Amino acid sequence: MADIIQLLPDHVANQIAAGEVVQRPASVVKELLENAIDAGADTIKLIIKDGGKALIQVVDNGKGMSHTDARLSFERHATSKIKSAEDLFSLNTKGFRGEALASIAAIAHVELHTKTEDDEVGTQLKIEGSKIVSQEIAVRPKGTSLCVKNLFFNIPARRNFLKSNQVEFRHITDEFHRVALAHPSIQFNFYNNGSEIFNLPSSNYRQRIVNIFGTKTNEKLVPAEEETQVVKISGFITKPEYSKKSRGEQFFFVNNRFIKSPYLHHAVVSAFEGLIKSENHPGYFLYLDVDPATIDINIHPTKTEIKFDDEHTLYALLRSTIKHALGQFNVVPSIDFEQDPNLDTPYAYQKKSAEQPKVVVDSGFNPFATDKDKPVSKPGNGGGSSSYNYEKSSAKGWENLYVGIESKVGKESDFSSVSFESEVITGSIFDEQREPIDSVATTFQLRRKYIVTTIKSGMIVIDQSRAHQRVLYESFLKNITVKEAVSQQLLFPLQLSFSKADVLIISEIKESLQTLGFAFDKIEDEHVEISGVPLLVPESEVGMVLDQLISDYQMDVETDSFSQSDIVSKTLSKTLAVKTGEQLDSESQLALVNNLFACKEFKVSPFNKPIYITITGDDIDKKFL
Ligand code: ADP
Ligand code: MG
């Protein structure tokens, strides 16, 4: 048989290699920014268009390249940063593989302008799919500008695989944050579709964090410092009370390189243990300086994962540093989140002695009387039921249950008029249950979590929080679609501050929010001014609701599978629904039950969790066998 093995031509090899280095526009941004930093620039501009699909340009004032280097830089394994394998152990540059430019040039239209300090004139070079199209002399200041257009122009499959411009823009912003946070002394400017998104002057670590994430961030930061022989730790953690439901701002930098490390992350989280609720995440910006010889950054082409020689020591040091920082700033709390607040003895009760419970006998009680002939007992008349005082005070927010769906509340007839969307739903309980939940006052609350009520065939146990989520979710969705939400005008407009990136997200979802009843006076820079809020949203919770919306929106947009109104409705219903632990009086329990079964899809919560379970009389009978 004839020989069949051939060496792949360079441009094919480059295209294959590009797959590893360049996953999306954000990867190009990372490589170009890192090259600018390695070139010693102190001012770097990043310019993108259409989520980086149309254009990514990085302009620096670094050392530039000679004519020959300009050309060589696009060859594979061409680098000025290491000369031998030993250099890998004393790396202080971002790059060293010499792959990035070759990979990028293989899959895009690239234009390089560059000049060194010493050269009179610079070089202009155009490359398309690894082929040099032109090389000319150019007059320009010292430094480099690298322009990448039409990414993946020759790999349609990859191009189609890219997400929407918004999502790609968000990935780029993340990458930009990471690089900018690692190098606060460098001035960065970031332009998207012609408008300036970030202007970050040369500063220190704290100011850089604040410039990126908004002025409000400053008060949240607690410094963490430690210096040992193995590692120098510096940076900030956010105070426990500012921990978020979303993962948000968590950054590790090792020798000024952003890295991902689930192991070190665990060290930080464990230091926060007991200080924040288990579903919340602490924020951190931690800079570790270690001897380059003790780490290996060569394990992943994008260099975001690294191997430490002595991970265990690092873990222990990091954990104790964070604990120390939290302690020093007096933020160690005295609250135990697991403890049931009902078990606390009020201070005033300290000296009280226990009272004997009194048994009140209802002399007029007739066990044979039916419900109908039973006289309605009035409070204070000594009648049996009156000795039980319903505690109404903590039924906070129950009025919310009515809003938007008042017409359905408490009317039995509405039940039978509910139109069911699918066979499955009409299945179990409602077939046998045409005249459904028994009339008034047949609900009760179990462990401040479930509402129990009877149906013809037995009973159902409803998760109060999920049920309310469903009710709110459908009413929000309806408001968005029919645009009839009621807005509550605020006497004084609310001024809220966010990071610039967050403000951008708010302006993206502005329309959905407006249809819900939010009224915005201003959305600019780091500030949002709100003059109206939906009826259901208490003024004091607006900030929290928006924070949650921003983070949910970010996460869901990643998957591209949800519509904006769906995300917004879900978030609001999750944030505003009654929670486990809230006591509901009988009126609101009943309203909730009725509203739930007036919903189109009453079986599962907006997050696809079951809302109730049915226990039939037969089930109960079996238990007694
Ligand atoms: P690496 O960064 O791993 O060396 P790259 O492909 O990113 O590989 O770059 C190849 C070479 O091109 C670099 O080693 C550097 O010498 C040169 N280079 C790239 N970008 C710049 C820049 N912005 N300024 C000066 N030199 C650059
Ligand atoms: Mg590089």
pLDDT at site 360: 60
- Separation of alpha carbons 118 and 142, rounded Å: 9
Q: How far is CA 83 from CA 36, 77, 96, 215, 292, in A?
A: 20, 11, 9, 44, 16
How large is the greatest C-alpha to C-alpha distance in the chain, in angstroms?
Answer: 110
- Separation of alpha carbons 571 and 505, rounded Å: 15
Look up residue 604 and give its DSSP letter: B
In DSSP terms, 126 is beta-bridged to 111, 134
Ligand 1, CB cutoff 6 Å, lining residues: 31, 35-36, 39, 60, 62-65, 73, 78-81, 95-102, 144
- Residue 398: strand, helix, or coil: helix
Ligand 2 centre distance from Cα of residue 98 (Å): 6
22 close to 103: Cβ distance less than 8 angstroms = yes
- Token code pair at residue 581: 């632990």
Nearest ligand to the C-alpha atom of residue 78 = 1
pLDDT at site 406: 38
The closest residue, in CA terms, to atom 19 on ligand 1 is 35
Q: What is the distance between the terminal CA atoms of the chain, rounded to a whole angstrom?
A: 80
Ligand 2 centre distance from Cα of residue 223 (Å): 32
Which ligand 1 atom is the nearest neighbour of the CA of 99?
6
The closest residue, in CA terms, to atom 12 on ligand 1 is 73
- Token code pair at residue 227: 């210096």
Nearest ligand to the C-alpha atom of residue 66 = 1
Look up residue 385 and give its DSSP letter: G
Which ligand 1 atom is the nearest neighbour of the CA of 97?
3
Query: For 102, phi and psi rounded to 5 degrees?
Result: -60, -40
Ligand 1 centre distance from Cα of residue 160 (Å): 29
Which ligand 1 atom is the nearest neighbour of the CA of 34?
2
- DSSP secondary structure, 438-505, as one string: -STT-EEEETTTEEEEEETTEEEEEEHHHHHHHHHHHHHHHHHHHT---EEEEEEEEEEE--HHHHHH
Ranges in the chain, pLDDT < 50: 331-351, 371-435, 440-441, 560-561
388 close to 362: Cβ distance less than 8 angstroms = no
Ligand 2 centre distance from Cα of residue 172 (Å): 17
The closest residue, in CA terms, to atom 25 on ligand 1 is 64
Between vectors from CA 82 to CA 76 and to CA 83, what angle results, nearest 5°? 90
The closest residue, in CA terms, to atom 17 on ligand 1 is 73
Which ligand 1 atom is the nearest neighbour of the CA of 58?
23
pLDDT at site 353: 55
Ligand 1 centre distance from Cα of residue 66 (Å): 12
The structure's pTM equals 0.67
**In terms of residues, how long is the chain?**
625
| Ion ligand 2 nearby residues (CB, 5 A) | 35, 95, 100
pLDDT in tens, 235-246: 999 998 888 777
Ligand 2 centre distance from Cα of residue 249 (Å): 26
- Separation of alpha carbons 198 and 209, rounded Å: 12
Ligand 1 centre distance from Cα of residue 35 (Å): 5
- DSSP secondary structure, 354-372, as one string: PPPPPPPP-TT--TTS-TT
Between vectors from CA 446 to CA 440 and to CA 452, what angle results, nearest 5°? 40
Ligand 2 centre distance from Cα of residue 39 (Å): 10
- With b for 16 or more beta-carbon neighbours within 10 A and e for fewer, the 233-271 pattern comes to bbbbbbbbebbbbeebbbbbbbbbbbbebeebbebbbeb
Ligand 1 centre distance from Cα of residue 288 (Å): 25
- Separation of alpha carbons 615 and 428, rounded Å: 11
The closest residue, in CA terms, to atom 16 on ligand 1 is 80
The closest residue, in CA terms, to atom 2 on ligand 1 is 95
Which ligand 1 atom is the nearest neighbour of the CA of 146?
23
Which ligand 1 atom is the nearest neighbour of the CA of 63?
25
Q: How far is CA 73 from CA 92, 127, 130, 144, 302, in A?
A: 19, 12, 12, 12, 18
